[in-house]
Amino acid sequence: MIPSQFDYHRPTSLDEALRLLGQSEDAKVLAGGHSLVPAMKLRLAQPKTIVDLGRITDLSYIRESREGGSRIVIGAMTTHFEIESSTLLRDKCPLLTELAPLIGDAQVRNRGTLGGSLVHADPAADWPAAALALDAEFEIAGPNGRRSVRATEFFVEMMQSAVQPNEILREIRLPITPKSVAYVKFAQKASGFAIAGVAAFVNKQARAVTIGITGVSAKPYRATAVENPLRGKELTPELIRAASAKASDGIEPLNDLHASAEFRAHLARVHCQRAMELAMSRG
């Protein structure tokens, strides 16, 4: 199908992009276009104005920042492929380089962006699991300046993030981690989207585990029912198995043509155990 008519702008700075967004009531930001363009072609989205971020070069970077303690900062327009091939991330935030190659195919990874995927908040997207497990922080720019939001507050509903229509996600901030991380997913065969995806960070120093789960329910979640009984404990295989059994506690699993609610809950439990075991075996 052909999208409905729209005005097209290609600003070269974030300020200009924000100004353009504010000028139209029904404007949308375009990043890699791998979610927005299909939605426009199907006329599920019919924005009157498109603000293409493709020429704002300072939204695309991966670096280590020493501001507020050492951490990794990634510009929202950084592509999945740039993350996949980053030696800095492989060394300092290996969960991201493990996850990125599992997204879609080479075309999707070459165009699709980290920021676009997170803002889009597709319940089957992979990045939200990692953002939750690593307790990422998001910097959002708007007409009144910048604000930061924690991962647990960022995913609001199915296809709805904390980013408002007149705002732009600018940067994602993540901790530097050891190798004891893992991402395990059960993928939809054709697209690669997660039917269940579990990211685990076993923080051996703090004797704590953080788990992000995507694909299973309408919005991604931190599996606190798994995390809490493990805090401060020596992680034995029995303890991991018992805690993983709680991976879908308190959530309502999705039930659709890809998988029943019961099967999704089962996948959450099994993949939670696998992700923790794998993370434990590393680093």
**Which spans of this chain sit near ligand FAD (rule: CB under 6 A)?**
28-36, 76, 103-104, 108, 112-113, 115-117, 119-120, 122, 125-127, 163, 168-169, 191-193
Q: Which is nearer to ligand FAD, 74 or 243 (CB)?
A: 74
Question: For the chain, how far is it from start to end, CA to CA, in angstroms?
Answer: 49
Classify strands 71-75 and 62-65 as parallel, antiparallel or unpaired.
Answer: antiparallel
CB of 113 to ligand FAD, least distance (A): 3
Q: Which is nearer to ligand FAD, 29 or 223 (CB)?
A: 29
Query: Distance (Å, rounded) from C-alpha 87 to C-alpha 165?
Result: 34
CB of 250 to ligand FAD, least distance (A): 24
Q: Which is nearer to ligand FAD, 114 or 202 (CB)?
A: 114
In 3-state terms, what secondary structure has residue 234?
Answer: coil
CB of 201 to ligand FAD, least distance (A): 19
Query: Distance (Å, rounded) from C-alpha 79 to C-alpha 68?
Result: 25
CB of 158 to ligand FAD, least distance (A): 13
Q: Which is nearer to ligand FAD, 34 or 71 (CB)?
A: 34
Q: Which is nearer to ligand FAD, 144 or 205 (CB)?
A: 144
Q: Which is nearer to ligand FAD, 119 or 243 (CB)?
A: 119
In 3-state terms, what secondary structure has residue 211?
Answer: strand
In 3-state terms, what secondary structure has residue 89?
Answer: helix
Query: Distance (Å, rounded) from C-alpha 63 to C-alpha 174?
Result: 11
- Return the structure tokens found at 186: 């059960």
CB of 163 to ligand FAD, least distance (A): 5
Identify the bridge partners of residue 150 per DSSP, sorted by sequence position. Answer: 137
CB of 240 to ligand FAD, least distance (A): 26
Q: How many beta carbons lie within 10 A of that of residue 30, not counting itself?
A: 19
CB of 107 to ligand FAD, least distance (A): 8
Q: Which is nearer to ligand FAD, 11 or 112 (CB)?
A: 112
Rg over alpha carbons for the chain, rounded to the nearest Å, is: 19
Query: Distance (Å, rounded) from C-alpha 199 to C-alpha 130?
Result: 5
Q: How many beta carbons lie within 10 A of that of residue 92, not counting itself?
A: 20
Query: Distance (Å, rounded) from C-alpha 220 to C-alpha 152?
Result: 9
